Structure 1
Amino acid sequence: MRKLEWSPTEKDTEQCSMKGKRVADCANFIRVLEFLNASHIYACGTFAFSPRCVYIDVETLSMSERTDEGRGRCPYDPYQPNTALTVDGELYTGTVADYRGNRPVISRHLSEAGRGDLKLDDTLGWLEDPVFVRSVFVPAEEKIYFFFSEVGREYDFIDRLLVSRVAQICTSDVGGQRTLQRRWTTFAKAQLLCQNNRELPYNLIQDMDLLPPAEGAPPEDALFYGIFTSQWRVNSGISAVCAFSLRDIRTVFSGSYKVLNRDSLQWSSRLQEKIASPGECGLHNASDTALRFVKENFLADESVRPAGRGLTLVSQHTYSHISVQSVRAASGRRYTTLFLLTVSGYIHKVVLLPTGPHVIEEVQVFQQPQPITSMKLSASKGVIFIGTSEGVLRFPLANCSFYRTCAQCVLSQDPFCGWDSGGRRCVEVGSSAGTALAQDVERGHVDEVCADAPTAACPPGVLVSVSLNEVVRLHCQAPSLLSRQQWERPNSRLSEELYLQLEDGSLSFVATPATLGHYLCVSVEGAFSRPRPCTRSDRTAVPPPGPCPVLHLHRPSMS
């Protein structure tokens, strides 16, 4: 593996430390890493709180001798959130442009000849302490959308009220001729309202990903899926996912805009003559009057509400990153699948069904929580790349071989996976050309789909010897996180006076002549049930996989 070193000198580190910064924070943290073209990558780092940028040759992994000043392209502080992307060799960034982090800016750098670099006009506070999370280029719109949270100055609220925003600029923007020279003429922003009816909104955006429209569908059918949390204690630790359509975003930006009273600095929604359309591309030849209008009217009056006017899902887990993909199931129907990364290091794979979201699997990615710098999905490679301070990890989109039986494969309701009855294995959809795969994504009905599938052999029951009056606790293996375990005795009822069925699916009781005998653990998932292997809580041996119909309890011999 080849490695490129790019670190501050001892003098740079010493000067950074003298400014009161920790030595560990005076290293060079890469915050921008984007392809400029097929041969070069543009990289920007914090470089001991003096950001710099370089060009890296992809083939030789060599760094240019000349460095660019990174101000406005990369934050000074390694903990300051930022976003960056390149379009046609030009760099678009959302970051802060000063050492103290008080000058937020959305800007364009490395502009083509004759276009000139652009940035925001900050005289009216176009941004209010923003926390950038993502930027997305939509080619059909020729626009870049920036997603961030900031202080909502339009609300007269006692506390510091934060709101989530989407802002837009046109890539064709070249600034005004007199008014807004070298400034954006197409900047506009609107509130993203992730809210269910009249409940408190989830007002802090954490991440955003774009799901392109289906093949042949209009561009405005594209959906942005975002993770949101709340600044209020009542929703502490809870995450919500909301989807916003490009069509709704476009409608809000083409509507009316709020008016700022310069004396009181209060926003209002009063009607005004619309001299120009804020956010409209091609305003570089507009009159000074029109440009002054778009300069002062940049906050859309309406908020962008979720597609379907409801939350996609709500979870007790705290999510930090999201990736989304549309998957074609064995039936030919497409399903939206979300990959959600928790702050504790787990990935939740969720498929969105007409009946609601269904958690397919939960996989622990990191043993110890650690800062995640990025998460990107590659549909062509079938993996998700997760970037951390220690390196890059690959996570497969499909893990079909994990399911060993037809029932497990179908019950997962994973649109990526189907049961190959001929090969008697769970395989990825599309990997077996011409083979009909058993799959039921929406219902998970095993009895209908797996009627002709071979069943696994039934291993013998587990024989456990106990002493009278001993407290016994029986466990059985759960086939999935979504199943629940029930205990039964042939021709006998498990009374609450003698037995305690615990939340983890185990059964606890005292060994008496009345409780000796046969026990059966049944795993229930949806409308499907099956016997499961049973074990004693103090046993270390793992029983063989597959159904285990009965557990024998016998009085030990008194020899």
Structure 2
Amino acid sequence: RLLIPTVMDTPSLLSLTVAFLGFLSPCLTKLTPRVSFPMGIPGRHLTRFSSHDVSNTTTLLLSEDGDMLYVGARDTVLALDVSYKDSIILRSKLDWSPSEKDIEQCSMKGKNMTDCPNFIRVLQFLNTTHIYACGTFAFSPRCTYIVSFLKADEGRGRCPYDPFQRNTAIIVDGELYTGTVADYRGNRPVISRHLGEGRRVDLKLDDTLGWLEDPTFISSSFIPEEEKIYFFFSEVGREYDFIDKCIVSRVSQICMSDVGGQRTLQRRWTTFAKAQLLCQADNELPYNVIQDIDTLPPAEGAPADDTLFYGIFTSQWSVNSGRSAVCSFRLNDIKSVFSGNYKVLNRDTLQWSTRVQDKVANPGECGLHNASDNALRFVKENFLADDSVRPVGRSLLMVSAEHKYSHVAVQRVQAANNRDYTVLFLLTESGYLHKSVLLQSGAHIIEEVQVFEQPQRVKSLKLSIPKGMIYLGTSEGVVSIPTANCSFYWTCPQCVLARDPFCGWDPASRACVEFSLLRGQDIDRGNVEEACNTISFTNRNICMSASCPAGKLVPVSLNEVVRLQCPAASQLSQQLWERPNSRLSSDLYLYLEDGSLSFVASPATVGHYICLSTENGYQQTMAIFHVKQKSSPMTQTPTSYTWPEPHHIPNTKSVARPGPRLHTSVGTWPQITETRQGETEAALSSRDTQVTTRQQGRNVALQTNESGKKEAEFQDGEPLLSARGSCYLKELVVVSVLLVLCLSLLITMLLYVIRQRCCSRTQIVTPTRESERRTPTEQEALKGNRFLNKCNGQTSGLVCNGALTGSNGHLSNTPI
């Protein structure tokens, strides 16, 4: 139950409650995709379809065999052949656009001309030969049957007027069940049934008691075993009257056998019931706004009650702003809530309350169309379940503060270890598709793929399990993506660390293959040591390339700033630098944020360097460099060292530094040419690994970070020198001169202060009454005679031996 009181007297109490629940929210675990594929980066195959005269390809319908994809766009319906993974072929295009008169009438209604075309919003298979389509048609919805011709029909109540208003539709046994609005202004929401063709009457909701409160329809699902249609939407929760609009997520149900009442609820649903979907963990503020939901059928041999619904939820509360949560709900829990108690609506105050009442009928039960008028009146007024549907395990599957999800598709996959895993395909608002697997330890995002660049108002996501493809419809066109990308992983460790249920390592072909039933996969733990223990590693597959190198030569000059860059194995890996038989002192080396290593070339820093990548306790070599002095007259012999072997590291605190964001495939790691003693060593360039040197004339501004380690920022200025670098004679002379000048200035100032203090002690002014009575002329004359002079140890101008004296020792000539 929502952790907010049903009645609150003041808005301040609401703010206090929201703030309090916000403090109770636990710390979020950052969900970082292991591998990222921005648009245009190789490593993830995408197939795109676009045309200059086709736009808003946002409604998708996939054939049962997965060979044909029907697309509802603006003013047209497309038939795309997707039977081949590497191509999308346009087979037919059917234009269905409003006339100029329809466009003019739409504009006269005050609508924008860009919204007046016909946007196809409903595409459903009516039978094996016909497709039923509905479009906005210049804010005058129309529907049609598609075979080889178009025959327009009334579309009100079946398709929204606004092309950007969400709706849902599903056809079962030739009948159309829709959730949309039935008026131009969008104020009459309906859940209705059409196309009965005389067998059964068309039905809709009774809107006299507000069965729906400003809903936003999301999705609908048919459960054959239950013979029920479930609708998912969000609406204003009138049972919470402490605020004007408190949004809640709902699930509602209707029975296919419903034909309405005989006198009460004629042509209205008698089996309609709704309940709250509560995506909330204990002591947390709920995520109350549903964005999308997908149905996962039960495993083979499992009962229908194990059907799961995976949904994306956001929050209207500011403390959860920008976050997305994923929850799953079990069909058995939904049925249990609908079979429980229902809230009671007070007709006078229109307030909901909970009280024990005698059940005249069971709301939501199929077969009520034959019930008495008294029973039908009861279900008409009691349609809101008292309890809420809680998520499976009463916990959230995943919460993301970095990505806001809008669409979801779910699939159950049997991995190489014969265990079933749930894979979620999540579309972000920023245009990335995330492939995530649900593990016992939590959600793991295997990869992210950018599918569109510009923000999209309307999007759609369709999963084809038989073809192993995902189809996305946006304003930019249609994109198809294979669900598996096993060839991206070149080695057994990378195949295992990906934890992709679609992939497994095949020791025979030494490749990561799709749906392998052989050894070499550990989805839950990703333990490389156990999964790859039959693989014999050599020096040539440590560095993740086709031919493993002995090292890359980096010729440098003394006092030259060297920067060694190392590719990251993934965005979850950490990078660590090592030197054979040596230690990397923080006084000589700088670890940069992107994982690269920087230092000044000196006799102490030349030699071999190894970059290691650590992920999930497994360590592997990513790059090897041999830094050699250019000016050496004789060819230096490389320092001998022992080659590192890949090994498993205990899960302890690692000293490795985080690697950069990975935007390339593992298959493009640099190849480094092996060099031997006595052979000429040449520097080789690589597209992904760069070694940059900075010439003399650069200085380093050292900073101290929080951990006390020094970091450096290279700036224009003086050269950075090694602790064992060149001579410092000029610097020593300059410092010595400055020191002498400072000491001289300090001594001068000290002598001046002492002299001033001595003078201040000898100057004593003693005013007398006689001096006060002197004329100004006498006072001026007397001032001129005041200077330091001895008079028997007394000062001139004062009383000497009891007599007033002048500067000559005689009585002054001043009259009394």
User: Does TM, normalized by the shorter one, top 0.5?
Assistant: yes
1:308 aligned to 2:393? yes
The 5 Å alignment of 1:73-472 reads 73-315=158-400, 316-429=402-515, 436-455=518-537, 456=541, 457-466=547-556, 472=562
Q: Distance in 2 between the 1:248 and 1:393 partners?
A: 36
1:15 aligned to 2:15? no
Q: Percent identity?
A: 69
Q: Distance in 2 between the 1:511 and 1:127 partners?
A: 74
TM-score of the superposition, structure 1-length normalised?
0.92
1:544 aligned to 2:630? no
- The answer to whether the 8 A contact 1:465-1:555 is kept is no
| Residue-by-residue CA offset, 1:317-357 (whole Å, 9 max, x unaligned) | 11111111111112211111111111111111111112221
RMSD: 2.6
One-letter code aligned to 1:125: G
| Residue-by-residue CA offset, 1:275-319 (whole Å, 9 max, x unaligned) | 111111111100011001111111110010110110011112111
**Per the alignment, do residues 176 and 484 of structure 1 end up closer, same or farther by CA in structure 2, a change over 3 Å counting?**
same
1:40 aligned to 2:106? no
Q: Distance in 2 between the 1:389 and 1:552 partners?
A: 42
Higher mean alpha-carbon deviation, 279-288 vs 435-444, is at 435-444
Q: Distance in 1 between the 2:290 and 2:692 partners?
A: 55
- The answer to whether the 8 A contact 1:464-1:553 is kept is no
**Per the alignment, do residues 458 and 44 of structure 1 end up closer, same or farther by CA in structure 2, a change over 3 Å counting?**
same
Paired residue for 2:615?
525
| Residue-by-residue CA offset, 1:399-434 (whole Å, 9 max, x unaligned) | 11111111111111111111111111111115xxxx
Pairwise CA distance, 1:95: 0.6
Pairwise CA distance, 1:460: 3.5
Identify the structure with the greater strand proportion: 1
**Per the alignment, do residues 234 and 555 of structure 1 end up closer, same or farther by CA in structure 2, a change over 3 Å counting?**
closer
SS at match of 1:303: strand
**Per the alignment, do residues 516 and 86 of structure 1 end up closer, same or farther by CA in structure 2, a change over 3 Å counting?**
same
Q: Distance in 2 between the 1:216 and 1:377 partners?
A: 23
Pairwise CA distance, 1:364: 1.8
- The answer to whether the 8 A contact 2:416-2:519 is kept is yes
**Per the alignment, do residues 272 and 547 of structure 1 end up closer, same or farther by CA in structure 2, a change over 3 Å counting?**
farther
Q: Distance in 2 between the 1:547 and 1:25 partners?
A: 60
Q: Distance in 2 between the 1:503 and 1:159 partners?
A: 49
SS at match of 1:194: coil
**Per the alignment, do residues 473 and 83 of structure 1 end up closer, same or farther by CA in structure 2, a change over 3 Å counting?**
farther
| Residue-by-residue CA offset, 1:161-194 (whole Å, 9 max, x unaligned) | 1111111111111111110000001111111111
One-letter code aligned to 2:230: Y
SS at match of 2:104: helix
Q: Which of 11, 20, 24 is residue 114 of structure 2 equivalent to? A: 24
Q: Distance in 2 between the 1:391 and 1:233 partners?
A: 34
Pairwise CA distance, 1:53: 0.4
Q: Which of 574, 581, 586 is residue 484 of structure 1 equivalent to? A: 574
Q: Distance in 1 between the 2:558 and 2:111 partners?
A: 67
Higher relative contact order (CA 8 A, sep 6+): 2
Pairwise CA distance, 1:211: 0.9
SS at match of 2:312: strand
One-letter code aligned to 1:83: T
Q: Distance in 1 between the 2:597 and 2:536 partners?
A: 31
| Residue-by-residue CA offset, 1:184-210 (whole Å, 9 max, x unaligned) | 011111111111111111111111011
- The answer to whether the 8 A contact 2:410-2:425 is kept is yes
Q: How many residue pairs were aligned?
A: 544
**Per the alignment, do residues 89 and 500 of structure 1 end up closer, same or farther by CA in structure 2, a change over 3 Å counting?**
farther
SS at match of 1:532: strand
Structure 2 unaligned residues grouped into runs of 5+: 1-89, 542-546, 628-659, 661-667, 676-688, 697-816
Q: Distance in 2 between the 1:552 and 1:116 partners?
A: 75
SS at match of 1:124: coil
- The answer to whether the 8 A contact 2:249-2:288 is kept is yes
Pairwise CA distance, 1:108: 0.6
Identify the structure with the greater helix proportion: 2
**Per the alignment, do residues 264 and 465 of structure 1 end up closer, same or farther by CA in structure 2, a change over 3 Å counting?**
farther
TM-score of the superposition, structure 2-length normalised?
0.64
SS at match of 1:363: strand
Pairwise CA distance, 1:494: 3.9
Q: Distance in 1 between the 2:693 and 2:117 partners?
A: 66
SS at match of 2:459: strand
Structure 1 unaligned residues grouped into runs of 5+: none
